[in-house]
Amino acid sequence: MSYVDEVIEQVIVKYPDQPEFHQAVREVLNTIRVVIEADEEKFRKDALLERLVTPEREIKFRVSWVDDKGQVQVNNGYRVQFNSAIGPYKGGLRLHPSVNIGILKFLGFEQIFKNSLTGLPIGGGKGGSDFDPKGKSDREVMAFCQAFMTELYKYIGQDTDVPAGDIGTGAREIGYMFGQYKRLTTSYEGVLTGKGLSFGGSLARTEATGYGLIYITDEMLRCHGQSMAGKTIVVSGAGNVATYAIQKAQSLGAKVVTCSDSTGWIYDPDGIDVELLKDIKEVRRARLTEYKNARPNAEYHEGRGVWQIKCDIALPCATQNELHLDDAKQLVANGCYAVCEGANMPTTEDATQYLQDNGVIFIPGKAANAGGVATSALEMSQNSERLSWTFEEVDAKLKAIMENIYHNIDDTAKKYGMEGNYIAGANIAGFEKVLNAMTAQGIV
């Protein structure tokens, strides 16, 4: 059996209850096969792939906090410090009831290659908890965040591991966690990114993932002789990534006609009203039914369904495995030109294959959503030099990083004889830098 297949098999046998991690490992290892098989025996002897798929450290801890009724609640907290070959661990904290070690390992593994693609010195990590922020009061969220950080602070630091936001973790949660870190350590340092602007946060970090997704999509379109203007776009999700992707796409002349949350979805033929969406989700923390109440022309549907709407471009921005084979078939039947992933691994394996087989341009999350973590790294730079850059300066750097990622994955795919296969281009380009650093640093 080839070395790549052996390691994929080992991961499945060793961690049978981590299907998302299997999926991420399969996708990466299958596409870096060309690099591995060029020197297979050396890599096997160095256990390079076993080291690549095994986190340097997995931390799991109890989080006890008191709810508004005086009841003690207990959650699991985690941090997966996956790979520090090219820099301190960097990656978000997910707060969602579905969080478990397998999901965090998939996210941490993806983060290694994504962070490498940004060109910035950041390793891969991810963490979070099965805590559900939905329906909790501000005081309950604060109590949770303080209890979570009371354990996590031992393992992180500005030069060690720098967490940030992800699903369920936004500015409010980062603020509470930063306050508790400072209280515990008496150290005012850039230990988290996505901070508020008054305490070390970077301008444009809030917008960065969504804006970055549109910058890379726009560059891809430009290189294919097209542009954003006049395109119809379908977006899933209604959180941080979705909101700012919609905003930037519309500012470039596209019309975004959908968004969704975990209970339902909106079709707005006039184009999503971003200010209304922000008010509902960021201020009122309410459901999308409120959107329909304010926009009589829009439709609200329970459940999932955005992919059935005819579009030129589809941007999945909610969560993993939200775009299935049937959805891919529908997108192809409707003439969809490109799918660019704002979320991490939102497209299932069979759907991805179907889209690629049917000529749909596909930019994987680790390239397409890298603008968030890239801007986090810019926040770290600003914290280190005790300065704040202007919005325009950060935004211009973000745009340049996303354009560079597009050309890097495009060139790499061509170099390996897989022109247009941006999954292979992203995985190989991301991997090569990590491989180089791991090799230079010896067996650690």
Interface with ligand 2IT (CB under 6 A): 90-92, 111, 114, 164, 166, 193, 344, 372-373, 376
Q: Which residues are within 8 A (CB) of 56 and not within 5 positions of it... i.e. 6 or more apart?
A: 81, 82, 83, 84
d(CA 419, CA 359): 12
167 lines the binding site for ligand NDP (CB under 6 A): yes
Span from 21-29, 59-67, 239-247, 421-429 in contact with ligand NDP (CB under 6 A): 239-247
Among ligand NDP, ligand 2IT, none, residue 201 binds (CB under 5-8 Å by kind): none
Q: Which does 248 bind (CB under 5 to 8 A by kind): ligand NDP, ligand 2IT, none?
A: none
Give, to the nearest 10 degrees, the angle between helix 391-415 and helix 101-117: 90
Using Cβ positions, the residue closest to ligand 2IT within the complex turns out to be: 92
Does residue 241 belong to the site contacting ligand NDP (CB under 6 A)? yes
190 binds ligand NDP (CB under 6 A): no
Q: Which of residues 253-282 bind ligand NDP (CB under 6 A)?
A: 261-263
The nearer residue to ligand NDP, 25 or 164, going by C-beta atoms, is: 164
At closest approach, how far in Å is the CB of 94 from ligand NDP?
Answer: 7
Instruction: In angstroms, give the least distance from the CB of 83 to ligand 2IT.
Output: 14
Between 170 and 425, name the residue whose CB sits nearer to ligand 2IT: 170
- Among 328, 343, 423, 434, which residue interacts with ligand NDP (rule: CB under 6 A)? 343
The site partner of 239 among ligand NDP, ligand 2IT, none (C-beta below 5 to 8 Å per kind) is ligand NDP
Q: Which is nearer to ligand 2IT, 228 or 343 (CB)?
A: 343
Q: Provide the CA 145 distance to its chain's centre, in angstroms.
A: 21
The residue annotated as part of the active site, out of 90, 105, 114, 126, is 126
Helical packing angle, 370-384 and 101-117, nearest 10°:
70
Residue 394 near residue 378 (C-beta atoms within 8 A): yes
Q: How far is residue 276's CA from residue 258's CA, in Å, rounded to a whole number?
A: 13
Structure tokens at 140: 């309950």
264 and 301 Cβ atoms separated by less than 8 Å: yes
Query: Rounded to the nearest 5 degrees, what angle is found at the Cα of 209, between the Cα atoms of 206 and 211?
Result: 90
List phi, psi (to 5°) of 258: -140, 160
Determine if 173 is a binding residue for ligand NDP (CB under 6 A). Answer: no
Whether 126 sits among the annotated catalytic residues: the reply is yes
Residue nearest to ligand NDP (CB): 239
Closest-CA residue to 226 (of 254, 245, 188): 254
Q: Does 247 bind ligand NDP (CB under 6 A)?
A: no
Which one of ligand 2IT, ligand NDP, none interacts with residue 427, CB within 5 to 8 A by kind?
none
Q: Which of 88, 102, 123, 165 binds ligand NDP (CB under 6 A)?
A: 165
76: helix, coil or strand?
A: strand
Q: Which of 116, 180, 209, 352 binds ligand NDP (CB under 6 A)?
A: 209
Q: E strands of 240-281, at which residues?
A: 255-256, 258-260, 264-267
Rounded to whole angstroms, how far apart are CA atoms 91 and 103? 13
**d(Cα 170, Cα 240) in Å, to the nearest integer?**
8
**Residue 20 contacts ligand NDP per CB under 6 A:** no
Q: Does 108 bind ligand NDP (CB under 6 A)?
A: no
Planar angle of CA 107, 94, 381, nearest 5 degrees: 80
List the catalytic residues.
126
Residues in contact with ligand NDP by CB under 6 A are 165-168, 209, 237-242, 261-263, 317-319, 342-344, 369, 372
